[in-house]
Amino acid sequence: MIKFKKINIVLFVLLWNMFGLGQEKAQTDNINVSKDSINNAVLQQYNQKLAEIEKLRVADSLKKVELENQLSSLKTTDNLQKDELQKQLQSIRDNENQRLLDKKARINSLRATAKGFPVLGVLKDTLFYVYSKIGASTPLDRTKNIEKKINTLYENDFFKADSLSAVKSENTIDIIYGESIIMSISETDALWYNKNMVDLSGEFKTIIQNSILSAKKENSLSKILLRIGLVILVVTLAWFFLRLIGRGYKRLLDYLMLKKDTWLKSLSYKDYTFLTADQEMQVVLFALKLLRWFIYALLVYITLPIIFSIFPFSRTWADALFQLIWSPFKVVLIAIWAYLPNLFSILVIYFVMKYVIQFVKYIFAEIDSGKLKLSGFYSDWAMPTYSIVKFLLYAFMFVLIFPYLPGSDSDIFKGVSVFIGVLFSLGSSTAIANMVAGLVITYMRPFKLNDRIKIGDITGDVIEKTLLVTRIRTIKNEEITIPNSSVLSGNTTNYSTIAASEGLILHTTITIGYDVPWKDVHQSLQKAADRTPMLLKEPAPFVFQTSLDDFYVAYQINAYTKEASKQGVIYSTLHQNIQDCCNEAGIEILSPHYHAARDGNMITIPGNYLPKDYKVPSFNVNVKKGSD
Per DSSP, helices labelled H in 116-220 are 139-155, 187-192, 197-218
pTM (2 d.p.):
0.45
What single DSSP character describes residue 377?
Answer: B
CA 161 – CA 209 distance, rounded (Å): 6
Q: How far is CA 605 from CA 517, 585, 613, in A?
A: 17, 10, 15
d(CA 557, CA 577): 12
Look at residue 431 in the predicted model and tell me its pLDDT: 78
Q: What is the reported pLDDT for 329?
A: 80
If you count DSSP H runs as helices and E runs as strands, how many of each does the chain have, helices first? 16, 15
Q: Which residues of the chain have pLDDT under 70?
A: 1-89, 92-94, 97-98, 111-112, 312-313, 423-428, 591-604, 616-628
Give the model's pLDDT for residue 220: 75
Pick from 585, 455, 562, 576: nearest CA to 508: 576
What is the distance between the alpha carbons of residues 544 and 558, in angstroms, rounded to a whole number? 8
Residue 119: how many CB atoms within 10 A of its CB?
22
- pLDDT given for residue 30 in this prediction: 45
In angstroms, rounded to a whole number, what is the distance separating the alpha carbons of residues 573 and 550?
30
Q: How many CA atoms lie within 13 A of 525 on its CB side?
A: 25
Nearest Cα to 111, choosing from 57, 196, 46? 46
Fold exhibited by the domain 433-494: SH3 type barrels. (2.30.30)
pLDDT tens readout for residues 146-178 = 999 988 888 887 788 888 898 988 778 999 988
Class of the CATH-defined domain 504-609: alpha beta
The residues facing 297 across adjacent strands are: none
Task: Give the span between the Cα atoms of 105 and 428, in whole angstroms.
Answer: 73
Query: What's the confidence (pLDDT) of residue 11?
Result: 39
Domain range summary for the chain, segments of one domain joined by +? 33-113, 116-219, 222-315, 347-427, 433-494, 504-609
* Separation CA 103–CA 132 (nearest Å): 12
Instruction: Supply the pLDDT for residue 309.
Output: 79
Residue-level pLDDT at 356: 94
pLDDT at 35: 47
Taking a C-beta distance cutoff of 8 angstroms, is the pair 591, 510 a contact? yes
